[in-house]
Amino acid sequence: MWRQRRLVRAETATLCLERRPQKIASGVSSELRLGLGAKLKEDDLAPYDADEADWCEKVLEEIAALEELDFEIEFKALPKAVPLLFAQLKSDAEDEGDIETYLKDYDGGLPGYAREIDRWCRGELRKAANRPHVLALADQLRTKRLILPPGTLELFTRYQTTLDNQLYKALSAFRETQEWRLKTLDVAGEQDKTS
C-alpha cells in the first residue's frame, strides 16, 4: 500500500513538473514557432494588466504631442506637457540623480529616450493584443499535459502492474495461511473433544 501511495505521489509530481509555468511558456513558444529571441517567459502567461495598456496608450499620445513640437520644449515645461513620460524619465534617471544629465548622456537625448519608450509601449500593446490567443493556447497545453508522456506512462503502468501482481500474491498467500490456520484449529478442536 505504501508503494501504491508512492506511485500516486510520483505521478502527481510528474504532472506538476510538466505543467510548470516555464515548461508551458516554452511549449507555447514552440507552438507559435517563435524564434530564440522572442520566446515567451512566465510573465507572458499572466493575464494582461489593463492599467499598463492604458498607461502605454497615454504615453504614446504624449510622445506624439512632443513629436508635433519637434521636441522643441523647455525642460521646465515637461512635467506639465507630458506628465507620464516625465514620471518615467524621472524614475529611469534616479541613479544619475539629475534628469538633465541623464538626458545629455542618453543616446539621442529626449527624442532618443522618447523613441525608446515609444518602441517599448508599442511592443507591450502588441503583446496585449496577442495575450488572449496566447492564454488560450497555454490553457490547452496545460490540459494536454494532464496526461503523462508515453515513456513515463509506460513506466508507471509497468510499476503499477508489478505492484498489483505482488498484492495479488500476498493476498493469495494470506488466504492460504488463513485456511491452513482454520483447518489446524478445527483439527485441534476435534482432538480436544475426543480426549
For residue 2, the model assigns a pLDDT of: 86
DSSP code string of 27-82: HHHHHHT--GGG---GGGGSPP-HHHHHHHHHHHHHHHHHHHTTT---GGGHHHHS
What residues have CB less than 8 Å from 184, skipping those under 6 apart? Answer: none
Domain ranges of the chain: 20-144, 151-187
8 Å CB contact between 28 and 138:
yes
Q: What is the pLDDT along the chain (195 residues), one digit of tens a residue?
A: 888 889 889 998 988 888 888 888 888 888 887 766 678 888 878 887 889 999 999 999 999 998 988 888 888 888 898 999 999 999 988 877 788 888 888 888 889 999 999 999 999 898 888 888 888 899 998 898 888 888 888 999 999 999 999 989 999 999 999 999 888 877 776 776 766
What residues have CB less than 8 Å from 147, skipping those under 6 apart? Answer: 153
For residue 76, the model assigns a pLDDT of: 85
Q: DSSP label at 17?
A: H
| Cα–Cα–Cα angle for 119, 88, 96, rounded to 5 degrees | 110
8 Å CB contact between 31 and 140:
no
8 Å CB contact between 18 and 145:
yes
d(CA 110, CA 75): 10
The SS3 call for residue 19 is: coil
Distances 41 to 133, 179, 192 between C-alpha atoms, Å? 15, 63, 81
8 Å CB contact between 48 and 124:
no
